[in-house]
Amino acid sequence: MNLLITEDDPLHRAFLKTAVENALPECDQVFEAENGAAAVEIVKSETIDGIFMDLQMPKSNGVDAAKEIWRCFPEMRILFWSNYADEAYVRGVARIVPSGAVYGYLLKSASEDRLAFAARGIFVQDQCIIDREVRGVQQRSENTLEGLTDAEFEVLTDISLGMTDKAISARRKISTRGVQSRLKHLYEKLGLNRSVTHSDIGPVFNSRTRALTVALSRGLLNVDGLASYEMELEDWLAKK
């Protein structure tokens, strides 16, 4: 078994390598990559059976790297290892996992025993292992009363990119009325259904930009995710 550790922090890479040696004595070789782009190159040039993947890294983040790796090797087993359980990261991972893929999502605050358990579960026993806190975020995002639906999250990412209703309509293949309906539901779930007005200046907030502020503060959006959404938008525009 050959494993790849993808982590930009040298100390974390060293920690993971020691953890692998202790938890997985059947591992023959451990490769290392300091960013997602390097990880993709190693996977394409070497025989890799599983990957530890950090999420936030320079050049290419973990979600983008995993997406490209799974595109080429859909059966690759990946354990995401991150400081973050924000919904933006959880959704970012969930939206790229191939059907039937074995993967895990573990927070870096997890104990060494928990890390060893996750590593053996994913790389040896082909089990999906998800941190309890991350599972809670997944369940909350799937709750139709509390979380955003995929359609509502799509329109949130679209307005975060500055798109107009007409452009969103074309991209998502829905009517402008459908876009406005999605926005209405989005605003309601973000607590923006009540307008704030001032006697002298009228409405205090622009709903679109206010939604972005609330989404960022709640961890629904982050910089890595926005960069990926920008690339997807550029691909769509190039095909128009």
Going from N- to C-terminal start, the domains of the chain cover 2-142, 150-239
**Amino acid found at 85:** A
Question: CB–CB of 56/35 below 8 Å?
Answer: no
Q: How far apart are CA 58 and CA 103, in angstroms?
A: 22
Residue 125 has pLDDT above 90, yes or no: yes
* pLDDT level of residue 134 (50, 70, 90 thresholds): confident
39-48, 52-61, 171-180: range with lowest mean pLDDT: 52-61
Summarised one tens digit per residue, pLDDT across range 161-211 is 999 999 999 999 999 999 999 999 999 888 886 666 776 777 778 889 999
What is the arithmetic mean of pLDDT over 47-51?
96
Structure-token match 């191939």, residue found = 98
Residues 6+ apart with CB under 8 A from 184: none
Question: CB–CB of 96/61 below 8 Å?
Answer: no
Architecture per CATH, domain 2-142, reads as 3-Layer(aba) Sandwich (3.40)
- The domain made up of 150-239 is a member of CATH 1.10.10.10: yes
As separate numbers, helices (DSSP H) first and strands (DSSP E) second, the chain gives: 11, 8
Long-range pairs for 17-20: beta carbons < 8 A, 24 or more residues apart:
19/112, 19/115, 19/116, 19/119, 20/52, 20/119
